[in-house]
């Protein structure tokens, strides 16, 4: 799913979220629709669809495949090819990138846009390029906790110009 992308690190209770522009969720059933970059989403409209009580954790559980959340992340050492393959298999538009090791601290995020701009357009090989070389770094992400309401997360992202 290409809208709100959240990373979930199972034992760290950390959720990092980022949003790809031009896509937004219109209801708790996770059906994405394309919207104009200049269209605004009102709080009343989001409340109408149940976002005032739905948490980031609820969304992750509804979308989730594995209890450990491993389908949501890759490491800086993974190849871009493997990351894009994982995104395709799990129908997501981005993966959280973690540093290798036991702690798995967040290093950034890799998005479809990163792939297009830094691999395809530049003529690089996805099989020989590491995710850490093209990811969007952690300091550019907006952070929310798993118990954050989706409405609040959407307001934060809209305020940071991450949503139309």
CATH of residue 68's domain is 3.10.580.10
Contacts 24+ apart (CB under 8 A), 100-104: 100/75, 100/76, 103/12, 104/9, 104/12, 104/73
Residue 108 has pLDDT above 80, yes or no: yes
Note the pLDDT of residue 91.
86
13 within 8 A of 5, measured Cβ to Cβ: no
Q: Note whether residue 115 is domain-resident.
A: yes
Domain that holds residue 128: 4-159
Q: Note whether residue 164 is domain-resident.
A: no
Q: Note whether residue 68 is domain-resident.
A: yes
For the chain, the residue count is: 164
Q: Note whether residue 74 is domain-resident.
A: yes
Q: Note whether residue 46 is domain-resident.
A: yes
Instruction: Please state, in angstroms and as integers, the Cα–Cα distance from residue 114 to each residue in 87, 94, 144, following that order.
Output: 13, 9, 22
Q: What is the mean pLDDT of residues 65-91?
A: 85
- Please give the structure tokens belonging to residue 93: 């538009």
Residue-averaged pLDDT of the chain: 72
For the chain, percent of residues with pLDDT exceeding 90: 34
The SS3 assignment for 9 reads strand
Buried b (16+ CB within 10 A) or exposed e, 63-85: beeeeebebbbbbbebbbbbbbe
Q: How many folded domains does the chain comprise?
A: 1
The three-point CA angle 74-80-84 to 5° equals 75
Note the pLDDT of residue 70.
66
* Predicted TM-score (pTM) of this structure: 0.60
């Amino acid at each position: 799913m290409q809208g709100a992308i959240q990373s979930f690190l199972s034992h760290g209770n950390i959720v990092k979220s980022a949003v790809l522009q031009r896509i937004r969720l219109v209801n708790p059933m996770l059906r994405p629709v394309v919207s104009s970059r200049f269209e605004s989403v009102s709080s009343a409209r989001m409340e109408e669809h149940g976002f005032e009580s739905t948490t980031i954790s609820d969304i992750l559980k509804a979308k989730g495949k594995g209890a450990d959340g491993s389908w949501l992340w890759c490491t800086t050492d993974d190849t871009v090819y493997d990351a894009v393959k994982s995104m395709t298999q799990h129908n997501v538009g981005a993966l959280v990138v973690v540093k290798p090791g036991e702690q798995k601290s967040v290093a950034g995020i890799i998005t479809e846009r990163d792939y297009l701009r830094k691999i395809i357009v530049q003529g690089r090989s996805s099989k020989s390029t590491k995710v850490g070389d093209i990811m969007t770094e952690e300091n550019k992400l907006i952070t929310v906790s798993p118990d954050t309401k989706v409405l609040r997360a959407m307001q934060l992202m809209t305020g940071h110009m991450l949503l139309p």
